Amino acid sequence: MAVLDGKAYVTDTDSGLQVIDISDPEDPIIIGSVDTPGLAAKVTVVNGKAYVADGESGLQVIDITDPINPTVIASVDPPGFASSVTVSDGKAYVTNISFDEHDWTGLQVINISDLTNSKVTGSADTPDFASDVTISDGKAYVADGESGLQVIDISDPTHPIIIGFADTPGYARSVTVSDGKAYMADGDSGLQVIDISDPAHPIIIGSVDTPGDALCLAVSEDMAYVVSAEFLFSIAFP
């Protein structure tokens, strides 16, 4: 989900993207939607466009300047199942997984500066199932299933390179970065806090057990908000 200007943009698997007016939080209203050809997994919103990781249908780009009538305007179909996406400096960074152990999985870099000619310009294979990515200071931080956190140097987006990793104890599902730390939703191992001040040598410095598997999270100031299979809860950092 992405939130911007009083609207929530929610991926709804085989129902595509839903646009919800949340200007009155007590009465959210669906005001628009667009079906996507695959299974809409995650979304990020930048400059009037929603970028959707759409499973086997890759990256879908949706014009949301009219939120009542969102429209798919471009797509790129890299190999595998697009599981997440983030956008930075005219590029979309898409994690892809494969359910065939012999197929490619990892991070794809897609040039979106010209949506009429969007294409994959670089990629980095990761050891396990890449399920989420966030960008900070020229690095991509990837939640990579049983292989924990993978740190990828994207200073040359045509040739991204894994430069470091932290093997978390659970199954890395979601990651965000704030103030020199990576926060990982790590499945049955809860929340993992990782020092990334040296991106080549990230170190786990703390953890919090969560009720149920930690699936995704967000960090704001000194709070982490974690979603599990059964709960949404907040964790305060000292």
Examine residue 237 and state whether it is found in any structural domain, yes or no: yes
Reported as a single tens digit per residue, the pLDDT across 104-115 is: 689 999 999 999
Q: Please check the confidence at residue 1 and state whether its pLDDT lies above 90.
A: no
Domain boundary among 70, 103, 125: 125
**Pair 115, 179 in one domain:** no
**Pair 118, 221 in one domain:** no
- For residue 159, the number of C-alpha atoms closer than 13 Å in the C-beta half-sphere is 1
**Pair 108, 193 in one domain:** no
Q: What is the mean pLDDT of residues 122-138?
A: 96
CA–CA separation, 67 and 115 (whole Å): 19
Examine residue 235 and state whether it is found in any structural domain, yes or no: yes
Instruction: Identify the residue with better confidence: 174 or 236.
Output: 174
In this predicted structure, what is the pLDDT of residue 235? 84
Domain boundary among 102, 125, 148: 125
CB atoms < 10 A from the CB of 7, how many? 19
**Pair 109, 171 in one domain:** no
**Pair 110, 164 in one domain:** no
Reported as a single tens digit per residue, the pLDDT across 38-47 is: 999 999 999 9
CATH of the domain at 29: 2.40.128.630
**Pair 34, 113 in one domain:** yes
Q: What's the mean pLDDT when you consider all of the chain?
A: 94
In this predicted structure, what is the pLDDT of residue 57? 96
Q: What is the mean pLDDT of residues 56-80?
A: 96
Q: What is the mean pLDDT of residues 71-94?
A: 95
Reported as a single tens digit per residue, the pLDDT across 162-192 is: 999 999 999 999 999 999 999 999 999 999 9
**Pair 51, 114 in one domain:** yes
**Pair 108, 58 in one domain:** yes
Lowest mean pLDDT among 132-136, 154-158, 210-214, 220-224: 220-224
Q: What is the mean pLDDT of residues 20-41?
A: 95
Looking at the 3D structure of the chain, how many domains does it have? 2
**Pair 78, 181 in one domain:** no
Examine residue 141 and state whether it is found in any structural domain, yes or no: no
- Segments forming the whole domain that contains residue 167: 158-238
CATH of the domain at 203: 2.40.10.360
Examine residue 139 and state whether it is found in any structural domain, yes or no: no
**Pair 111, 181 in one domain:** no
In this predicted structure, what is the pLDDT of residue 238? 64
Examine residue 150 and state whether it is found in any structural domain, yes or no: no
Examine residue 132 and state whether it is found in any structural domain, yes or no: no
Q: Which of 178, 159, 197, 157 is nearest to 235 (CA)?
A: 178
CA–CA separation, 225 and 218 (whole Å): 5
In this predicted structure, what is the pLDDT of residue 102? 56
In this predicted structure, what is the pLDDT of residue 103? 62
**Given the structure tokens 């001040």, which residue do they identify?**
197
**Pair 115, 169 in one domain:** no
What predicted TM-score, i.e. pTM, was given to this entire model? 0.92
Examine residue 1 and state whether it is found in any structural domain, yes or no: yes
H or E, element range at 156: none
**Pair 15, 113 in one domain:** yes
Examine residue 135 and state whether it is found in any structural domain, yes or no: no
